[in-house]
Amino acid sequence: ETLSERCRRLEVHPTGPMWGKGTPATGARVLELESRLAAQYPQLTGLCVAAGMSQERRSLRLAVRELAFEPEADAVLVGFRLARGGFATAVLRELIEAPADSDLA
């Protein structure tokens, strides 16, 4: 069983940093890359630290299950299930902003 297969089955997800206090939980190459990128946004990273946020990682992908929609006269009812910690507003934003030529259209 490969990592690619597990990613395809949505068992594991790529992650990204949530900047804050503490030591990032990444290896040397990833730490160097993410630190270099964070250094380009000192005000934002400083604000995260000042707000008391802790270094964490977050999934960069959200599995949407049981997606359904029902068109109505002046609206569309949308339903779906998310894993704990997922934000419905993020899914709705992606649905609304999807280009007309995407698979969602």
Q: How many CA atoms lie within 13 A of 77 on its CB side?
A: 3
Structural Rg of the chain based on CA atoms: 18
Confidence of residue 64 (pLDDT cuts 50, 70, 90): very high
Confidence of residue 104 (pLDDT cuts 50, 70, 90): low
H or E stretch including 10? none
Residue 54's region, left for phi above 0, alpha for psi from -120 to 50, else beta, is beta
34-51 tens-digit pLDDT: 999 999 999 999 999 999
* Residue ranges in the chain assigned as alpha helix (H): 3-8, 28-39, 42-50, 88-97
Whole-model pTM: value is 0.63
Q: Name the residue ranges covered by the structural domains of the chain.
A: 3-59, 64-97
- Mean pLDDT on 62-72: 92
Residue 55 has pLDDT above 60, yes or no: yes
